[in-house]
Amino acid sequence: MKLTVRIWRQSGSGDRGRMVSYAVQDIRPEMSFLEMLDVLNQDLITNGEDPVAFDHDCREGICGACGVVINGRAHGPEQTTTCQLHMRAFRDGDVIDVEPWRATGFPVVKDLVVDRSALDRIVQAGGYITAPTGSAPEAHAIPVPKHDAELAFDNATCIGCGACVAACPNGSAMLFTSAKVTHLNVLPQGRPEREQRVLDMVAAMDDEGFGGCTNTGECVKSCPKELPFASIARLNREFLRASR
């Protein structure tokens, strides 16, 4: 495959940034999107140019480190992580636009790399339990209703990639925050901090400059782990309950 890849290049937060076009050749359909960027970077290095900076780690769709906007969609045309998106999703001769996550809470570090530590600070505000649980208890030591256990597991699958923020027209982190609140608040171990957790995490989310949620649903469409949209409603209920 031969492709034209238009990539956002920005040397740092003080740089205005710009889209730069590159011709990429000899791309196989079974390559991942990040492998395509590796091929481009190898060509740039060979030619003495600065390679494109982008985040990655496990490349197995687990860590959440990768993440770029591809042709206007977070993670690209398929509902998966960028590292698990393969080039067979594109056609020979395609022009592909690649941009970083764009949100107030995600300042650009360089090129496609953004600072997502705001999500870590939201978790630090309330994503913990104070109950001294010691070592792992027996599976049936603390009875948990099946529905609650499944709900907690569904929300705990969040990998913190930030696609929900990038896809939201308001730059909201409500889906991420609601997942972190829900998976702890529905379990017995997280109940002691239930009210304070939601107040602290929502306050941290607002302090980081993320926008408000208007229920457009773009977050769940881009989430590679398919977090439930109902978690946002649950967060709102938890917040109202804690506020009272």
**pLDDT of the chain along its 244 residues, tens only?**
999 999 999 998 889 999 999 999 999 999 999 999 999 999 999 999 999 999 999 999 999 999 999 999 999 999 999 999 999 999 999 999 999 999 999 999 999 999 999 999 999 999 888 877 677 667 677 888 999 999 999 999 999 999 999 999 999 999 999 999 999 999 988 889 999 999 999 999 999 999 999 999 999 999 999 999 999 999 999 999 999 9
Q: CATH number of the domain that 164 lies in?
A: 1.10.1060.10
Quote the DSSP letter at residue 69: E
Same domain, 146 and 233: yes
Q: What are phi and psi of 110, to 5 degrees?
A: -165, 135
Judge if 179 and 135 occupy the same domain: yes
**The overall pTM is greater than 0.85:** yes
DSSP secondary structure letter of residue 97: E
Among 70, 93, 110, the domain boundary falls at: 110
**Residue 57 one-letter amino acid:** D
Q: Are residues 11 and 49 in the same domain?
A: yes
Number of domain units in the chain: 2
Distance CA 69, CA 89 (A): 15
Containing domain of residue 73, as a range?
3-110
The reply to whether 125 and 220 lie within a common domain is yes
Same domain for 129 and 83, yes or no, is no
CA Rg, the chain, in Å?
A: 20
